[in-house]
Amino acid sequence: MDSTMRMCASCRRYMPRSSYSANQFSKGTGESRCAGCVHGPRVDAPLTGEVDSGRYNHSCDAYVPGHELDHPFADGAFRWVAKGSYTSGSREGQACVVKWFKTGAVFEEDYFTLDIKAVNKALEIVNRFNLLHIVNKPVKVNVPAVWRVYEAFGKWAGQRILCEPFIQNYQKFNSNTGWNDDSKAWGEVMQALSHFSYHVTGGQFVLCDLQGGIYQHKAVLSDPVILSRNRDYGVTDLGPDGISSFFSQHCCNNYCRSSWAKPMNPVQIFRPVPGTTMMRHGVPTRRSQPMETFY
């Protein structure tokens, strides 16, 4: 891990040496500016309205057949995914997916509140990446909305769901533990996007767990994960250990730029696996007796 920390002269964030270019770090305390400030506006302002890198529902209603709800095409450890179609707006008639959580799923509240937060951060980063024109097709991010099931749907009535446009030819490019499939060009592009996310945020975040589909004119991602220094993004945010593990498996490719910052001497802490790894925040156990007592 980085042994030297310094406050950025512009944004006043206290960050490791790897968040600065060699030129900026050589300027000394009080003068050095982090990579995020040198290369443009910080990407931590809240989004307002739709952005170019987003792929939105453009609808407020969808229909999911009962057999899809009873037999969803994706059945994970804690949530289901079913396919439906939009019934309003400019996407009327097009396919969508809905995601909902199994009864008693311990991750439910984290996901409904933090899925959207992670997507917003991903949109900010992807917007900046697209401006570099590293590839001739833009990267888009599915933007889910929290909807409720109509009362007419019996046992599902009133349940909250996430709805977003359907993605064809779904594939996974990397995970939040450092696993990656760079056997094809788009896999390399996604690794470069993850590397860029660290650089452009001054080493504070890594956008990863990149998965989705490749279309003729764009690539579309869904369910991105944000790794953060403070573990602000829920159960899939593995924090500084996750950032270190990710870069321990990353090898720069033709789409990365040599000027992009990366952690010094990253260490593998999590085993690289294709699936999404989750980790709850720990709560210290309170002592039930005063110190130095036996009973």
| Domain parsing of the chain, residue ranges | 54-248
Least trusted range by pLDDT, from 75-89, 143-157, 175-189, 192-206: 143-157
Q: How confident is the model at residue 111 (pLDDT cuts 50, 70, 90)?
A: low
Predicted local distance difference test score (pLDDT) of residue 64: 92
pLDDT in tens, 10-57: 777 766 665 666 677 778 888 887 766 765 544 444 455 789 999 999
Query: Strand, coil or helix: what is 255?
Result: coil
Which residue matches tokens 């939105």? 56
CB atoms within 10 A of CB 43: 19
Predicted local distance difference test score (pLDDT) of residue 289: 44
CB 272 within 8 A of CB 175: yes
Predicted local distance difference test score (pLDDT) of residue 42: 43
pLDDT in tens, 45-77: 445 578 999 999 999 999 998 888 888 888 766
The structure tokens listed for 118 are 């992670």
For the chain, give the mean pLDDT: 84
Fold designation for 54-248: Protein kinase-like fold (3.20.200)
| Backbone torsions φ then ψ of 160, nearest 5 degrees | -80, 140
pLDDT in tens, 215-273: 999 999 999 999 999 999 888 999 999 999 999 999 999 999 999 999 999 999 999 99
